[in-house]
Structure 1
Amino acid sequence: MIPYIEQLMLEKLSGCISDEDDAQLRQLLETVPELSEIYKGMQEQLSQPISQAYLSKLDEGVLWEENKHRFIPRKFKWWYAAASILLILGLGGSLFYYKQPSKKQLANNPTGIVLQLANGQQIDLSDTTQSMMKVGSAQLHVSSKSLQYNAANATADMPMNVLRVPAGKDYKLVLADGTEVWMNAKSEIRFPMAFNGKTREVTVSGEAYFSVKQDPTRPFIVHAGDVSVDVLGTAFNINTYSSVNPRIALASGKVVLKSKNSAQVVQLSPGYEAVYNQQFFSIDAFDKRNTLGWMEGKYYFRNATLKDLGDVINRWFDIDVVFENSAVSRIDLTGILTKQDGLNDFLDNLGKTTGIKHELKDGVLTFR
């Protein structure tokens, strides 16, 4: 963040911003959504009891010595509040929004992306040296990041395959009809080599984003537990990490939602998300960045619990996450976790900005 804008935000948070600067900051927040998100996150995190408790323990003299090099105060009475906030928020005053960490950390002992054929044969796609392989009548184009089916001469009765994406990985699948499926970590999809019937049907668990090839004569149906999603030409995200509350977010097109346990039929509009609670669907608008950020390797979280964050860390980095007490797991957080930047710096920043302690050892992350 630009230091001057950071300073305006800190003055606003400390309650000693001038009318002129306040007007300028308001204009910036109204015209630049990213800055508005950062400022809201700063407000929310600073209001947390753990931040307030940490602030109350800080020594004014130590704060000044440690932070005076970071800015030149324009109001003498402002420096203590700003320095305190800087120490709590850390790394450029942008709360939990850290950028360009220096260290990298990959997933611990990642397992391979596996394609299981109908005959039980398993093919590890993670490090395959083949760019093309033939399975029955289907031609497979393979890379470490994607798999594409071509089954132009497929027979009418095609067996089902299973593609499993483990923790620490993501993968793209292109089905025989041209439908594209982006799969998040710890996800699975069952699909045929070709679609030859009146419908095109697959089954998914975990999280996946579908861009469905339009074919009005053959509806595309996604099964996820007790829920089914009927589509024509549509782009949508389905998240079943919580098996009791699957979520379907529609980016474009139209889908019809049904469930085995309810007579309710829901037609979803773009920009809206349906959450199923085992009895009925509830509908609400969704934040595209928060819901689809995983496709860019980013997890945006606002007022998420540390337990929620731990679940993502487990999936993305293949690390077991434990909490020494339930109170720690319920702490609310706001920020961004970037997958490609790794975990070490993120955890260090978490400790600096919230006071939450952690230990990462032998593939187990413990929060205290």
Structure 2
Amino acid sequence: MIPYIEQLMLEKLSGCISAEDDAELLQMMEAHQELKVVYKGLEERLGEPVAQEYLAHLDEDALWEQRKYHFKKRRSNKWLYAAAVFILLVSSSLFYFLHLPVAKPLAAKGIVLQLANGQQIDLSDTTKKGTLKVGTTEIHVSGKSLTYDNGAGGAETVMNVLRVPAGKDYKLVLADGTEVWMNAKSEIRFPMAFNAGKREVTISGEAFFSVKKDPARPFIVHAGEVSVDVLGTTFNINAYGSPRIALASGKVVVKGSNSDKAVALSPGFEATYSQHLFSIATFDERNTLGWMSGKYYFRHATLKEIGAVINRWFDIEVVFENSAAEHLDLTGILTRQDGLNDFLDNLEKTTGIQYEYKNGILRFR
């Protein structure tokens, strides 16, 4: 990161930034969304218990003597010793956390909850069904869903991550009562409690949201290069590729990170974000939401597109040894309950495409 921008971020994190510099930093973060992501990441990581423990054992005086030369006066800024020491602490922790190994997901291909402190809980472990106590939070786990109660209220706003692997799906109920259905190969970043101003989560993959209405706290979902602002509504976000937002009920406003335009959606319409532009079209609810009942309806889809669904739903690697097979135009239905055998047999009979499934790899020849 450019040192000048890093210094501005550190000033803002410490609360010592001037109004002029704050406005400049905000302008840069609005123009370059990657800077906003970096800043939010720093803010979240510095709130983690492990970060607080690290900062608690630093020698401020020694740190100041070692690193005070890093700071230069800009404009009319007058650095107070206490403020500068605090920024050095943040800077030191920034260096520390940029080099701290990130906890790797559990090796088992199960549903994993990674808490903000790095602890990982395998939700597929049947011994963990029931109620788990994590700090002041009670987490209620069943075979297909997770809910939680934050007894202490709104302090725990650092982000946790729920990962749903290939071959699985899962339901999460957030602190405000919002329900989130997660498709296979998806994850969501969420807090144990929302703050007073707004409710924010981030997803990758695909999820269906039923948002609890709260006019005082807008609900914001970030997915790749788009964000979705809602109050109370139901909608689907597919972010496996170009983000696609389909509105089932209510009203949402979608925004692109590289676009100054916001698009309001009405029920029955979807917005697809590609090359910094939104395209709006109606959508077939059966096709778009069929995944929630384990059905994938496809119309004029390529076998390559269907192969991506097979990979997610059945945790099978799909390989095309026949390049022509990738572009095969197909219409039909694939169901998780029936498995792949009937689908593949029918595919071979109707198209002549041959396949082989061995050692977890499906090859089309």
> TM-score under structure 2 normalisation?
0.69
Cα distance per residue 1:56-85 (max 9 Å; x no partner):
xxxxxxxxxxxxxxxxxxxxxxxxxxxxxx
User: In structure 1, how many angstroms separate the alpha carbons of the residues matched to 2:121 and 2:290?
Assistant: 29
Amino acid at match of 2:187: E
Q: 1:110 to 1:338 in 2, by over 3 A?
A: farther
**Match in the other structure for 1:140:** 139
**Match in the other structure for 1:219:** 218
**Match in the other structure for 2:306:** 309
Q: Which 5+ residue runs of structure 1 have no aligned equivalent?
A: 1-108
Give aligned-pair identity as a percent. 74
User: In structure 2, how many angstroms separate the alpha carbons of the residues matched to 1:142 and 1:156?
Assistant: 22
Contact (CA 8 Å) 2:199, 2:217: kept in 1 or not? Answer: yes
Map 1:69-84; keep pairs closer than 5 Å: none
Deviation at 1:133, TM superposition (A): 0.7
**Match in the other structure for 2:130:** 131
**Match in the other structure for 1:114:** 112
Contact (CA 8 Å) 1:261, 1:278: kept in 2 or not? Answer: no
**Match in the other structure for 2:323:** 326
Contact (CA 8 Å) 2:156, 2:191: kept in 1 or not? Answer: no
Deviation at 1:134, TM superposition (A): 1.1
**Match in the other structure for 1:97:** none
1:258 correspondence with 2:255 = yes
Q: 1:110 to 1:120 in 2, by over 3 A?
A: closer
Deviation at 1:110, TM superposition (A): 7.4
Contact (CA 8 Å) 2:154, 2:194: kept in 1 or not? Answer: no
Contact (CA 8 Å) 1:156, 1:197: kept in 2 or not? Answer: no
User: In structure 2, how many angstroms separate the alpha carbons of the residues matched to 1:292 and 1:127?
Assistant: 28
Q: 1:322 to 1:110 in 2, by over 3 A?
A: farther
Deviation at 1:170, TM superposition (A): 0.2
Deviation at 1:259, TM superposition (A): 1.3
Amino acid at match of 1:260: S
Map 1:1-368; keep pairs closer than 5 Å: 111-129=109-127, 130-242=129-241, 245-368=242-365
User: In structure 2, how many angstroms separate the alpha carbons of the residues matched to 1:252 and 1:150?
Assistant: 27
**Match in the other structure for 1:102:** none
SS of 2:260 mapped into structure 1: strand
**Match in the other structure for 2:35:** none
SS of 2:313 mapped into structure 1: helix
Contact (CA 8 Å) 1:226, 1:260: kept in 2 or not? Answer: yes
**Match in the other structure for 2:75:** none
Q: Which 5+ residue runs of structure 2 have no aligned equivalent?
A: 1-106
Q: 1:170 to 1:157 in 2, by over 3 A?
A: closer
Give 4+ residue runs of structure 1 displaced > 6 Å after superposition: none
Amino acid at match of 2:230: V
SS of 1:314 mapped into structure 2: helix
**Match in the other structure for 1:67:** none
**Match in the other structure for 2:90:** none
User: In structure 1, how many angstroms separate the alpha carbons of the residues matched to 2:258 and 2:330?
Assistant: 35
SS of 1:251 mapped into structure 2: strand
User: In structure 1, how many angstroms separate the alpha carbons of the residues matched to 2:121 and 2:155?
Assistant: 24
Deviation at 1:144, TM superposition (A): 1.6
Cα distance per residue 1:257-300 (max 9 Å; x no partner):
11110011100000000000131111000000000000000000
User: In structure 2, how many angstroms separate the alpha carbons of the residues matched to 1:241 and 1:225?
Assistant: 9
Deviation at 1:156, TM superposition (A): 2.5
User: In structure 2, how many angstroms separate the alpha carbons of the residues matched to 1:282 and 1:227?
Assistant: 13
Cα distance per residue 1:100-156 (max 9 Å; x no partner):
xxxxxxxxx971000000111110001332311111111111012100021142342
Q: 1:209 to 1:217 in 2, by over 3 A?
A: same
**Match in the other structure for 1:72:** none
Deviation at 1:254, TM superposition (A): 0.5
Contact (CA 8 Å) 1:110, 1:318: kept in 2 or not? Answer: no
**Higher RCO structure, 1 or 2 (CA under 8 Å, sep 6+):** 1
Query: What is the root-mean-square deviation in Å for CA atoms of aligned residues?
Result: 1.3
Deviation at 1:350, TM superposition (A): 1.2
User: In structure 2, how many angstroms separate the alpha carbons of the residues matched to 1:263 and 1:152?
Assistant: 40
User: In structure 2, how many angstroms separate the alpha carbons of the residues matched to 1:278 and 1:138?
Assistant: 42
